[in-house]
Amino acid sequence: MSTQLGTLAELPQEYRDAMTRVGVAPLWPQMRNVLPHGAPVPVTKSHLWAFADVRPLLLRAGELTPVEKAERRVLFLADPGRGPGAMQATSTIYIGLQLLLPGETAPAHKHTPSAARIVVEGEGAYTVVDGDKLPMHVGDLILTPGGCWHDHGHAGNAPVIWLDALDLPLFVYLEGSYAVEAPLQSPRNRPDASEVEYRSAGLAPVRRRDRPASTAYPMMRFPWARTEAALRHLAEHNGGEAIELDYVNPETGQSCLPTMGFTAMMLRAGETRRPPQRSASAVYHVVSGRGSTMINGATHHWGPKDTFSAPVFAAIEHTSASDSPAFLVRIHDTPLQEKLGYYEERAR
């Protein structure tokens, strides 16, 4: 079954040169690289980005680079497995930390990749998505799906930092990534859909069949206060199971974005969890609490606002500090893998 395949070095040099001239190459020396046995061999290396390390550099970017010169003032998290400057945290997931200072705006654009933001620090910022003004409070998840206009503004009086998650690496790989730009939008004068139509889980407005495809994303904002309350409530009644809630489209029950999944997690005080090995890669953002996570044998110690990554099929063990529960959001590519038909979990 695992016969040793022939190598390039075994082939005569003049044959190799002839192949190169014609623009072909032999498959067999590279076969195992692209089809390893049993499980993929990830390029991604797990890493923890401590907020305390990134924050001062981001605030310095606020002094060094005016927002007009940046369009989006972001420091992105570079996967060490891909070397310095890699614009991805895992195979499919881009993560950045974005700074907006009081009074600043970031102009409207729309692009093919989808994005979501998790607010990390500060109050008073907002994002306008297709005319809906979405207030940004710490922990909120705000969607800007592919093809939706979005601009940002900040009416507060201290810096605001949020985490951006995009399926950008996938779109770059597909040669499908581009943007269209526009001036700032004038928001509609009404609260966003999470405050009106979609206030109650399990109760959705009657679905209109005649709606245009552009309203495929009925709810763009998931307020953290409700997410945390739902997790705490679940913790009281789920008999010691893992406390996890997926962010979904409230009309369809499907993942809230096409390729990226978002899962809110609570770890009880002093709890240890060993999730199955998942074929999805993931980035964990700590909303509150402290603890540690062992990923493929190496341990990250984390606290509020820290972010860490896990490659595909990682062996993971989370432990929360004994004095209080911890709340994290897991950003992953399960929806993409399900659509491609290969998402998998292996019990440990």
How far apart are CB 95 and ligand 1HN at their closest, in Å? 10
The pairing of strands 221-222 and 261-267 is: unpaired
Rounded to whole angstroms, the Cα distance separating 228 from 327 reads: 8
Nearer to ligand 1HN, 307 or 320 (CB): 307
How far apart are CB 142 and ligand 1HN at their closest, in Å? 10
Strand order across the beta sheet in which 316-320 lies:
272-273, 316-320, 291-295, 298-302
How far apart are CB 98 and ligand 1HN at their closest, in Å? 6
Nearer to ligand 1HN, 67 or 265 (CB): 67
- Please give the structure tokens belonging to residue 48: 């923890």
Q: Are 110 and 131 in contact (CB under 8 A)?
A: no
In three-state secondary structure terms, 81 is: helix
Nearer to ligand 1HN, 16 or 109 (CB): 109
Nearer to ligand 1HN, 95 or 326 (CB): 95
Q: Are 206 and 231 in contact (CB under 8 A)?
A: no
How far apart are CB 280 and ligand 1HN at their closest, in Å? 21
Nearer to ligand 1HN, 152 or 305 (CB): 152
Sign of CA dihedral 110, 111, 116, 122: negative
Rounded to whole angstroms, the Cα distance separating 320 from 270 reads: 5
How far apart are CB 150 and ligand 1HN at their closest, in Å? 5
How far apart are CB 166 and ligand 1HN at their closest, in Å? 6
> Which residues sit at the interface with ligand 1HN, rule CB under 6 A?
72, 74, 96, 98, 111, 115, 150, 152, 164, 166, 168
Nearer to ligand 1HN, 70 or 242 (CB): 70
DSSP 215-268: GS----EE-HHHHHHHHHHHHHHSTT--EEEE-B-TTT-SBSSSS-EEEEEEE-
CA R_g for the chain: 22
How far apart are CB 164 and ligand 1HN at their closest, in Å? 4
Nearer to ligand 1HN, 180 or 196 (CB): 180
Residue from 154, 127, 153, 122 nearest 139 by CA: 122
